[in-house]
Structure 1
């Protein structure tokens, strides 16, 4: 049986404190959804910024290439994210 930690209140007081602590957090507006390596120094990344998705190609030959993917982003999905 797990022994309760006296420093962490439970019940209603614990719930109120948890809600109050997370109150000021801002949701991130930029998220890395997927990233794959194509070659030793070449990557392809899928990024979401404020509801829009972008495909970003990075290589040592030049500056990154950005491609906007038109249409609204689908609902957030849970699962594995590759880095």
Structure 2
């Protein structure tokens, strides 16, 4: 039983810290492909406006929101797993 609980805790912890992708879209719903939006937030730009970062990191997430807002865009989390 202890092994099962420890394994469950490990998988939940790994799942919460997984990196996923997000986009910044303008008012016309087009992806803003400026890599600076992602890199200034502390994420890893993957090209074509795709940004990879740990969604549980509130600081990076808020910086990405602010950088996207500065470009008059809105953030869309795609939920796709990514590696950097």
Q: Which range, TM-score by smaller chain?
A: under 0.3
Larger radius of gyration: 1
Which is richer in strand? 1
Q: Which has the higher helix share?
A: 2
TM-score (norm 2): 0.27
